[in-house]
Structure 1
Amino acid sequence: MIISELIVGLGIRRTGVTGYIAGDVLYVLTRKHPSFEYAALVRSESSAARVREVYPDVRVVLGSLDDADLLKREAAWADLVLHAADASDHEGAARAIAAGLVEGHSESWPGYWLHTGGTGIFTYFDTVENRFGEPSDRIFDDLDGVEVLTSLPDEAFHRNVDKVVLECGTVHADTVRTAIVCPPTIYGDGRGPISARSRQCYEMAKVILTKRHVPIIGTGLATMDNVNIRDLTQAYLLLIEAALGGNANPEIWGARGYHVTSTGEHVWGQLARTMAAKAQEMGLLKGDGDTKEYQMGKEEAFELAGFEAMSWGLNSRCRGRRLNKALGWKAEHPSLNDEVPGILRSEARRLRLL
């Protein structure tokens, strides 16, 4: 039986362990299931040394996402692959993982693939409708409207990689069970061995703390979903434990296995104002004068802080209900608004302002 074999020993292949998402998942997973056999893809020897120091029982695999043969071989070995290293945009890596899982598994011994996508895919409609820094009332739904999410236009951000995963999980449904985990804006301190910092909200905090600007894109009314890193990790853990049980529920895996992990929603302009006010209240703004609202367009935002700043003018709204219905997943950790002081404090420490 798959269940008994998986309990005896599970070979888990992980990419992105030095990063924010996979690092946090590994932290929880190795504590809850210390007897499993883990392999982690790491790109540099210096990072590998740190991973070995923290996780001496994890088998470190040196390589990159461009090492297709390596990825294929490791995916064939693994019972479960969690892919979170530039997962949503590296098509070659996704194809190698798919090939390895198909080659290494069978109907009697299926492989599982937890692929990390991203709700940036939903910003496609802002692009085609030439909307930037403006609100949108388009809200997706991963439960009743999952077919919309799995058939977005090919030009949409991340869509090329989503298609590789969906094809693998449908054409080879008997041997490979796939689930796309689609996080929105992530916040909170990670517990990984190297990277503990997210990007969008933390880059905003950096701008406020160092430039005293309150960045407002357009009207400031663009809206995105969000999730606490620890709630996101719990979503992965629930899916992993479903795999341990040999779960084959078509509402979780394959053609309908598209899980948006959103637990809250924020308006970018309002978040910037809240951050600035809280930074002043906490005494984190050095020098004279108050913060000032600074309006900018797409090009200026990109020059300020790359795509993270551009995202402050984009809409990405989706109700994540599928995992709640299938596995009981729900928010248990502080909201983004409650976490603002922590974001500011951690960024101030990183910038050596504290």
Structure 2
Amino acid sequence: MSNLKVLLTGATGYIGGSILSTLLNSQHPALKSIRLSALARGQDKARVLTERGLSVELFDDLDQTELLEGIASNYDVVIQCVIGTHIASAAAFIRGLGQRLSTTGKQTYYIHLSGASNISDLPSSGKYRETRVLSDKEDIYAYEKYRESLHSYVQRANEMSVVETGLATGVRTTILMPPTIYGMGSGYFNRLSVQIPMVFQSALKRGQAVRVGDYDAVWNHVHIEDLTNLYEIVLARIAEGNDVPYGEKGILFSDGGEFLWSELYEGVARALKKRGKLNTEELYTLSLQEAADEFAGGDEYDVEVGFVSKKNDDDDDTYKNHMCILQYVTLGSAETEAKACSNRSSSSTGYCQECVGKLRAVFVK
């Protein structure tokens, strides 16, 4: 598909900004001819993006669904990275793409950012236990529908809506479901991730590092550069006219390995004490409700799936075996993000060019 028109949302954020820099610097031949635009709030941010050669679509609020639908109707692909919990805007983007499909007869695509907390086990509260290791080669859509029937979780509900709206309009929807994302971003604005800096900021505010509950939660991680390279792969496949998993089968994992939250909490304490920001490495244990108040606006379910859960999944072996897996969530990343969180500076961690070359040569099926 030559001259593919692509709209990137969330271009001023951590993930979207890093995707933007990856696409702008991509050496993939299929991406040389795409016409990339960004959705942005405010003239100041738009100015920064236009100075980088981007076309910018302005909006004020995600509730402007008619505006967003109209904007999307001018594009072949929308990459949605604004927020995974705003159902109405996601549906509006897909409806707009559906209009373009009806008008031009040209297939349109919607790439949606979700999150692995949708499928997290809940062993701390005992509300849901999963003994299997899930694979994105399974029917994850049906599994999430079942989980949603037990307890509604807005990010998961949005994901279900994305699939259903895509099927109704003929738009091919592909959902990326990353676990904990770490590492310094490469965008022009926010370069900090979410979960790990929240733990740092809590420690700096309290004067003591924290842990959430007594349960030794296990999660998966992915480095931001590995994740953005997955976006590059998916978009390149679309640009080449090759198949991309979509609809009920288009939910893709992106794991780089496992980590213990307890080790990360300890890494936060060590990193901040080393930098003179804390006097002790001893951890303060937050109850589930305390953590909910601190991190999730009082919602215990949200904080449990994000910090005290067990994530049982495995991505497609073809992709995983070619990833450049950066196993430094509690070591290198803790030190790097400690510096960024305490000094508000930023730097980028490197990644293996050989592995990235291999990564570009494969596809997630």
Q: TM-score, normalised by structure 2?
A: 0.81
Is 1:113 the equivalent of 2:110?
A: yes
Is 1:90 the equivalent of 2:86?
A: yes
Partner of 1:284: 276
Query: Distance between the aligned counterparts of 1:219 and 1:137, measured in 2?
Result: 20
Alignment partner of 1:31 out of 25, 32, 52: 25
CA contact (8 A) 2:49 2:56 kept: no
CA contact (8 A) 1:190 1:196 kept: yes
Alignment of 1:227-306 (within 5 A): 227-249=222-244, 252-280=245-273, 282-285=274-277, 289-306=279-296
Give the C-alpha shift of residue 176 in structure 1: 1.9
Give the C-alpha shift of residue 334 in structure 1: 5.0
Alignment of 1:84-233 (within 5 A): 84-86=81-83, 88-106=84-102, 108-123=105-120, 125=122, 129-130=126-127, 139-144=133-138, 146-154=140-148, 155-172=152-169, 175-233=170-228
Letter in 2 for 1:83: Q
C-alpha offsets along residues 103-131 of structure 1, whole Å, 9 cap, x if unaligned? 11159510011011111212474698348
Partner of 1:64: 61
State which drifts further: 218-227 or 324-333. Answer: 324-333
Q: CA 1:261–1:326 in 2, change beyond 3 Å: closer, same or farther?
A: closer
Q: CA 1:93–1:124 in 2, change beyond 3 Å: closer, same or farther?
A: farther
Q: CA 1:136–1:39 in 2, change beyond 3 Å: closer, same or farther?
A: same
Structure 1 unaligned spans of 5+: 1-5
Aligned length: 333
Q: CA 1:312–1:89 in 2, change beyond 3 Å: closer, same or farther?
A: closer
Partner of 2:357: none
Query: Distance between the aligned counterparts of 1:351 and 1:248, measured in 2?
Result: 41
Give the C-alpha shift of residue 170 in structure 1: 3.2
C-alpha offsets along residues 148-179 of structure 1, whole Å, 9 cap, x if unaligned? 4443333134222112211134344xx42110
Q: CA 1:208–1:351 in 2, change beyond 3 Å: closer, same or farther?
A: farther
C-alpha offsets along residues 3-36 of structure 1, whole Å, 9 cap, x if unaligned? xxx23x1210111111111111111112224543
Letter in 1 for 2:17: G
Query: Distance between the aligned counterparts of 2:260 and 2:176, measured in 1?
Result: 23
Identity %: 22
Letter in 2 for 1:73: G
Alignment of 1:290-329 (within 5 A): 290-306=280-296, 313-322=307-316, 324-325=317-318
State which drifts further: 266-275 or 136-145. Answer: 136-145
Partner of 2:47: 49
CA contact (8 A) 2:7 2:77 kept: yes
Q: CA 1:177–1:291 in 2, change beyond 3 Å: closer, same or farther?
A: same
Query: Distance between the aligned counterparts of 1:313 and 1:328, measured in 2?
Result: 27
Alignment partner of 1:335 out of 325, 328, 332: 328
CA contact (8 A) 1:120 1:316 kept: no
Q: Secondary structure at the match of 1:330?
A: coil
CA contact (8 A) 1:39 1:61 kept: no
Q: Secondary structure at the match of 1:105?
A: helix
Give the C-alpha shift of residue 292 in structure 1: 2.3
Query: Distance between the aligned counterparts of 1:269 and 1:259, measured in 2?
Result: 27
Query: Distance between the aligned counterparts of 2:202 and 2:271, measured in 1?
Result: 14
Partner of 2:352: none
CA contact (8 A) 1:235 1:329 kept: no
Letter in 2 for 1:273: E
C-alpha offsets along residues 183-213 of structure 1, whole Å, 9 cap, x if unaligned? 1111111111111111111121223345342
Letter in 1 for 2:61: S
Is 1:13 the equivalent of 2:7?
A: yes
Query: Distance between the aligned counterparts of 2:121 and 2:153, measured in 1?
Result: 5
Query: Distance between the aligned counterparts of 1:312 and 1:168, measured in 2?
Result: 27
Q: CA 1:197–1:176 in 2, change beyond 3 Å: closer, same or farther?
A: same
Give the C-alpha shift of residue 77 in structure 1: 1.2
Query: Distance between the aligned counterparts of 2:127 and 2:345, measured in 1?
Result: 35
Give the C-alpha shift of residue 76 in structure 1: 1.6
CA contact (8 A) 2:37 2:55 kept: yes
CA contact (8 A) 1:220 1:270 kept: no
Query: Distance between the aligned counterparts of 1:231 and 1:187, measured in 2?
Result: 10
Letter in 1 for 2:234: L
Query: Distance between the aligned counterparts of 1:348 and 1:276, measured in 2?
Result: 13
Q: Secondary structure at the match of 2:309?
A: coil
State which drifts further: 16-25 or 115-124. Answer: 115-124
